[in-house]
Structure 1
């Protein structure tokens, strides 16, 4: 069975970044930074970024979106989006 990892997409510093969480690794996690802007990267852009990092979306996996707040007790607190999906390495995903 192919090993699945969690990829996350978050808005940060005026842009979006996609990274793959590799627990237990001392190396930097694979990461792709999208250009500046508020527009959420499209599904196609996210898939291309994953491919460039050496990953593919796992079969039947779907992107999950979560709204995060700096202060959950304050409804006026700024929010940001965090998305995640299960991925496999491209070599395992092709098998």
Structure 2
């Protein structure tokens, strides 16, 4: 997995959450809660949320969808896409990011 990467999943409250995995500690990852269970956020809503967090999609707009396979619990659906910062992030160790 290349960093940074955006992921969208349902949070503990059941609402859709978009977060950006970076080399920072988990509690410092940029995050946006869409505040709803349905409907699933559209691609345009995800792009707006990423922009508000300071990121843009890297490459094509295709999100990769996955499901956890933990048993006996229900599967957990999540999506991922490569992103890049809109501006350089000082002190980052992510390749290509100052």
Smaller-chain TM-score range?
0.7 to 0.9
More strand by share: 1
* RMSD (Å), alpha carbons: 2.1
**d(CA) in 1 for partners of 2:66, 2:34:** 19
Question: Which residues of structure 1 form unaligned runs of 5+?
Answer: none
Cα distance, 1:79 vs structure 2: 1.7
Cα distance, 1:62 vs structure 2: 2.1
TM-score, structure 1 length as denominator?
0.77
Aligned counterpart, 1:40: 40
TM-score, structure 2 length as denominator?
0.75
Aligned counterpart, 2:70: 70
Question: Which residues of structure 2 form unaligned runs of 5+?
Answer: 89-98
* Higher RCO (C-alpha 8 Å, min separation 6): 1
**d(CA) in 2 for partners of 1:4, 1:59:** 14
Deviations 1:1-54 (CA, angstroms, capped at 9, x unpaired): xx951111011222011000012x246100000012232100000000000000
On the 8 A contact 1:14/1:38 being kept in 2, the answer is no
Q: Does 1:81 align with 2:71?
A: no
| Structure whose alpha-carbon radius of gyration is higher | 1
